[in-house]
Amino acid sequence: IGRKEEQKMIQQFSNKDHLGTGEFLGRTASSWGLILLFYLVFYGFLAAMFLLTMWVMLLTLDDNVPKHQDRVPSPGLVIRPHAAEISFNRSNPADYSGYVQQLHQFLQPYEDSRQEQNELCLVGEYTLQDGEPLKKACQFKRSLLRYCSGLSDTSFGYSDGKPCVLIKMNRIIGLKPIGDPYVNCTSKGNAPLEMLYFPSDGRIDKMFFPYYGKKAHPDYVQPLVAVKLLLTKEDYNVEQTVECKLEGSDLRNNDDRDKSLGRVIFRVKVFQ
């Protein structure tokens, strides 16, 4: 017998054998049944585990969502010029030109001509616009800062030794302060320093809240408070420590762990 014929015979034989015992793809019907049952139970178990996990997660989520919503964090305060100590000789313009430049640059988004394209908002009211996709921004013109606007006095008081410091509240999406927030600064030396606030009384108007985020609220500018330190002869050549706090609202200003929340401390030393 030739080789080819031999192979054919073997093939035929094995085919017959399969048909004879009722096997399909090498397994008997009962074997297939067992496998099917195993996978049915296995996947059923997986599905049940998945559903149970989802159910437990949804339960805890329902509890947590309101908790997170009513605990909007408090904002930190920062100053411009950006420095822990503002120190300069008032007779020496090169000493303070860096501070002055910084302030002019910082106030560029507040340019009156630019702010005139923003909305005039209602004083003392939140500017709520939850429905609109693109949020309007409320006007904050730099001229509001008067002697600290850099407009009439382009050196912000640095040349005559009565420097302005701008106080900015960090942006927090959704923040709506309760009450009427204002900035109150106190000097920590022996004799209290006299200061001027712009806008008057250091008020931060509620119209600038809430902030809706960079994407939805592209023209938004933070409200500012400027403090002009009216230093006198006795105050020169002496380091002054000033602490400014957000008061009049529910915003935190005495957190022991985060000392930037609602307050800022800076030092000023003016030589003459």
Ligand X SMILES: *[C@@H]1O[C@H](CO)[C@@H](O)[C@H](O)[C@H]1NC(C)=O
Give the binding site for ligand X (CB under 6 A).
89, 91-92, 184, 186, 237, 247, 271
3-state SS of the chain? CCHHHHHHHHHHHHHHHHHHHCCECCECHHHHHHHHHHHHHHHHHHHHHHHHHHHHHHHHHHHHHHHHHCCCCCCEEEEECCCCEEEEECCCHHHHHHHHHHHHHHCHHHCHHHHCCCECCCCCCCCCCCCCCCCCCECCCHHHHHHHCCCCCCCCCCCCCCCEEEEEECCCECCCCCEEEEEEEEECCCCCCEEEEECHHHECCHHHCCECCCCCCCCCCCCEEEEEEECCHHHCCCCEEEEEEEEEECCCCCCCCCCCECEEEEEEEEEC
Least distance between ligand X and beta carbon 241 (Å): 14
Q: Are 265 and 241 in contact (CB under 8 A)?
A: yes
Q: In this complex, which beta carbon is closest to ligand X, that of residue 139 or of residue 184?
A: 184
Least distance between ligand X and beta carbon 64 (Å): 37
Least distance between ligand X and beta carbon 260 (Å): 18
Least distance between ligand X and beta carbon 237 (Å): 6
Q: In this complex, which beta carbon is closest to ligand X, that of residue 157 or of residue 210?
A: 157
Q: In this complex, which beta carbon is closest to ligand X, that of residue 23 or of residue 243?
A: 243
Least distance between ligand X and beta carbon 227 (Å): 12
Q: In this complex, which beta carbon is closest to ligand X, that of residue 96 or of residue 211?
A: 96
Q: What residues contact residue 80 under an 8 Å CB cut-off, 6+ apart?
A: 102, 103, 106, 165, 166, 168
Least distance between ligand X and beta carbon 168 (Å): 19
Q: In this complex, which beta carbon is closest to ligand X, that of residue 127 or of residue 187?
A: 187
Least distance between ligand X and beta carbon 66 (Å): 33
